[in-house]
Amino acid sequence: MSHAKRTPIRAVAASIAIAALSSCASSVRPERDAPLDAMAIAAEALSLALGGEVRTAVDALVVELDQARLDVGERAALLETKAWALLLGGDLGEAREAFEQSRIPGQATLAASRVLEFRLTALADRALARRYAESLGDSSPDADLEATAFSLMAGDADLRDDPPDDLAEASRLASYLSGYRVEPVPGAGAPAAEFSPESAAVEAPVVVVAELESVGADPATAATARLSYRDGLVKSGAFRVVDAASRKAALEELELELSGATASEHDRAVGSLYSADYVASGSLVATENGWLVAWTLASAQDGGIVAAEFAAAPDHAAISASAHRFCVALGEMSRRGEIPATGSPK
């Protein structure tokens, strides 16, 4: 990935790096001829990780961590950055180890560290992560933004109901959520059956693709997001996909009736209109560096979030790529029986 392509992502990464360094700041700093710019190194490493170059990012951090003249705060900040990079790369065990090594006894942690701990915990046990979030209280200056991130990652809130309307706040939320996925509890659905194209036409869940809630996004970007989601679901081969635009007049009338409705109420109504099992939608929120995209798959029966994924996307290509990744994951969940058809064949 070129430097030019990483520039928007670097701005997202810097918001994590700044918070990490703030929480790991040391009051004792040895004198040196050329002080290490730990924040710049952390931001560059995270930009690489967010751009998919996790191993390059981790290797760069390991080189810096071998420096003998790092002070306690710099070492802690780089270790926490390493934990973020490993987490983004899916290495949960190594990420947890790096995070534990980053802790400074007696040092209070700030938002980025708490969000990182929640993410690490939630990937193993979402209920335990909820209890961790509840134990934090609301004494932090960032408590509201933290609470929003925690609720979204727990699957208890929908970004469509309360999207950030400030670019800086949206950017910080994007940095906290980037790459996080909410998935159904394994085994919660119907028993997995052998999947084949022949059986898909009868057994596959019906998904209606609705508009994404847009906050500050231009029509072309909103269309790119919705069409990418629709095409990704079709290519997954695991769903019977209906485009909500196929009944435009009925949908427009329904949208008028749903003015002021919550995202959950909206999904139930749209799902009923199209006789669907699930509603594919989400949010597209403008940030300082592009967009925060929240892909959601909601139950048409009760409007509850079945699965969700969040991405910090600097351009249209990144939006499309994140939609593709989520749809591949949804296809795998469906084949495991975790996203079953909820009614009789339609």
The model's pLDDT over 76-115, given as tens digits with 9 standing for 90+, comes to 888 999 999 999 888 889 999 999 998 887 665 666 888 9
- Please say whether the dihedral angle defined by the alpha carbons of residues 291, 305, 256 and 270, taken in this order, is positive or negative: positive
Read off the tokens for 113.
Answer: 């560290």
Q: Are 339 and 330 in contact (CB under 8 A)?
A: yes
Q: Are 186 and 213 in contact (CB under 8 A)?
A: no
Read off the tokens for 225.
Answer: 């997001």
Alpha-carbon 251 to chain mean position: 28
**141 located within any domain:** no
Q: What CATH number corresponds to the domain at position 280?
A: 3.40.50.10070
**48 located within any domain:** yes
With a cut of 60, say whether residue 199 has pLDDT above it. Answer: no
Q: Are 42 and 20 in contact (CB under 8 A)?
A: yes
Show which of 74, 107, 132 is a domain's final residue: 132
> Does residue 190 sit in the same domain as residue 266?
yes
**163 located within any domain:** no
Show which of 78, 109, 132 is a domain's final residue: 132
Pick from 65, 90, 62: which is nearest to 76 by CA? Answer: 65
pTM exceeds 0.85 for this model? no
Residue 43 lies in domain: 3-132
CA separation, residue 145 to residues 81, 100, 206 (Å): 20, 24, 35
CA separation, residue 214 to residues 74, 226, 281 (Å): 39, 11, 11
With a cut of 60, say whether residue 206 has pLDDT above it. Answer: yes
**297 located within any domain:** yes
pLDDT score of 265: 92
With a cut of 70, say whether residue 223 has pLDDT above it. Answer: yes
| Lowest-confidence segment of 109-118, 188-197, 213-222, 287-296 by average pLDDT | 188-197
The model's pLDDT over 128-161, given as tens digits with 9 standing for 90+, comes to 999 998 888 776 667 888 899 999 999 999 999 9
Half-sphere exposure of 16 (CA within 13 A, CB side): 33
> Does residue 251 sit in the same domain as residue 119?
no
CA separation, residue 184 to residues 132, 153, 304 (Å): 20, 12, 11
Quick check: helix, strand or coil at residue 294?
strand
> Does residue 239 sit in the same domain as residue 113?
no
Quick check: helix, strand or coil at residue 215?
strand
More confident residue, 32 or 48: 48
With a cut of 60, say whether residue 254 has pLDDT above it. Answer: yes
Q: What gap in Å lies between CA 78 and CA 102, rounded to an integer?
A: 8
The residues, any chain, with a CB within 8 Å of residue 157's CB and separated by 6 or more, are 148, 151
Q: What gap in Å lies between CA 49 and CA 61, rounded to an integer?
A: 11
With a cut of 50, say whether residue 37 has pLDDT above it. Answer: yes
Report CA Rg, the chain: 21
pLDDT score of 117: 92
- Please say whether the dihedral angle defined by the alpha carbons of residues 210, 336, 115 and 138, taken in this order, is positive or negative: positive
Pick from 119, 116, 122: which is nearest to 101 by CA? Answer: 116
Q: Average pLDDT of 163-169?
A: 91
Please provide residue 123's backbone torsions phi and psi, each rounded to the nearest 5 degrees: -65, -25
**61 located within any domain:** yes
pLDDT score of 7: 47
